[in-house]
Amino acid sequence: MKKNPVWKAVVFWLMATPVALGATPHVWAPTVTQAGRYLVLAGGCNDCHTPGWERSGGKLPWSQWLTGSPVGFQGPWGTTYAHNLRLLVQHVSERQWVAMFKYKTPLPAYPMRPPMPWVNYHQLSVRDLRAIYAFIKGLGPAGRPAPSYVPPGQTPKTPYIVFVPQQPKSVP
């Protein structure tokens, strides 16, 4: 069987890409990394967990991905913040991560509060949740922790978005 030079280039690219992006080589598995990256993008994780994502048109470098947000989401539950997932996965095992999403097992430091779309993530397969975990873990720690939860009735000290449906005024 003749060896295909294109195949060699693809394998080299898949193996070299994480290293070129500053990742620790032994943490990355190319197929898991690509699947995890895809799921993070398709799942909209960056929408809340990456500051400036929307303004950048989704063009921020990986070094800025999933570092949490200082902007809160306020509703009847209080004010929540999109956690810094890159710091979170440094202290959470893959098993805990999967249990949190798949089996609705909250972590003490990461209760299941809105507006995180928990129902959507409960539907993911264990394989997909592991791929997301591996991708985030492979990015390495960066940034600072997001602000702490603010209980209902208390005013946050950071900017926040009010997540309460508004009733339109009657039009005469």
Task: Dig out the tokens for 42 from the structure.
Answer: 């398709």
pLDDT at 29 over 90: no
pLDDT digits (tens, 9 = 90+) for 113-133: 999 998 888 999 999 999 999
Radius of gyration of the chain (CA): 19
Mean pLDDT of the chain, nearest integer: 84
List the domain boundaries for the chain: 23-54+63-162
Q: Does domain 23-54+63-162 match CATH 1.10.760? A: yes
The whole-number average pLDDT for the span 54-65 is: 93
pLDDT at position 135: 95
CA angle 126, 132, 134 (to 5 degrees): 100
Q: For residues 61 and 27, give the distance between their C-alpha atoms in angstroms, rounded to a whole number.
A: 19
- DSSP-derived letter for residue 145 is P
Burial of 9 (0-12, 13-18, 19+ CB in 10 A): exposed
- Number of neighbouring beta carbons within 10 Å of residue 130: 19
Q: What is the pTM of this model?
A: 0.78
According to the model, what pLDDT value does residue 21 have?
Answer: 44
